Homo-oligomer: A and B are copies of this chain.
Amino acid sequence: MSRFDEETRVVPAADGRWAGTVSPAWNIGTNPNGGYLMALAVAAIRQALPAHPDPLSVTVHYLKPGVGGEPFDVDLRVLRTGRQIGTVRATLSQGGEARLEVLAAMGALAEASDAPLVPPPPGMPPPHACVARSAAAQGIDMAILDRVEVRLHPDDGPGGGGGRARGSGGGRVLDGREPDALAALVFADAYPPAVFGLLGAVGWVPTVELTVQVRRRPAPGWMLARFETVDMVDGRLIEDGLLWDSQGHLVAQSRQLALVRGSGPRG
């Protein structure tokens, strides 16, 4: 069993809730990564809706940071089930305190296939020629980098984006587990904030809300991603993301509302 599957394992609990443990292995700084926490919630939701195993659209509002190493439970309510889509509301709590509030439309995704309209993935050098995301570069501990490898486009970074707040790169789970819809949720939140690509590491960029639409099951191999912020005002920004699989198929779209703090941990 891969560590990713082990560390997103959720089991039914006695009171109709779902339970597991937030692994500290997915921390950035002292907080579990937001995409990993989203994957935990969805791991519970998909068990409650076996006919609709895939997250078509998931919105998480982060109410309070998670705590790595501590148990969590997920209280969920199925709001609607149809032939194509099941809708669920869920709350992920630790120590009796709500951490994530989640609203998800679940369904069944097809295998990746070609489609019109889809924007092409970023042109990237091969991963070994890219820059590894590193704790040193961001000045913060990143346990998560023992779980996922994130490679950044060497031309990105301050001054490299032609005046745009962009970042792009490739990611994979380090123990060889191939990507799926759940891993796509993690990759939607595993890159440095795109605004760093314009302004450098401006501080802590905590996510208020993250929505990910998963479009297809990814093919095996690296997943590529591009993120961009087109607006930053009053200390709040929106970051858009697109994720593709190794065959160039669009796998997911993401958007988050985040705050920009002048100081604190970076990421």
Across-interface contacts of A109 in B (CB, < 8 A): 234
Interface size for A (C-beta < 8 A) is 48
Flag whether A59 is at the interface (Cβ < 8 A): yes
Across-interface contacts of A234 in B (CB, < 8 A): 109-110
With A208-B105, A213-B238, A255-B213 already in contact, the answer to whether A61 and B84 are too (CB < 8 A) is no
Contact A231–B257 (Cβ < 8 Å): no
Flag whether A67 is at the interface (Cβ < 8 A): no
Across-interface contacts of A33 in B (CB, < 8 A): none
| Segment among A6-14, A114-122, A132-140 that sits at the interface with chain B | A114-122
Contact B255–A211 (Cβ < 8 Å): yes
Kindly state the separation between the CA atoms of A5 and B123 in the bound complex, as whole angstroms. 49
With A233-B216, A238-B213, A255-B253 already in contact, the answer to whether A103 and B101 are too (CB < 8 A) is yes
A155-209, CB < 8 A from B: 164-165, 198, 208-209
Across-interface contacts of A216 in B (CB, < 8 A): 233
With A57-B208, A215-B238, A236-B56 already in contact, the answer to whether A101 and B117 are too (CB < 8 A) is no
Flag whether A80 is at the interface (Cβ < 8 A): yes
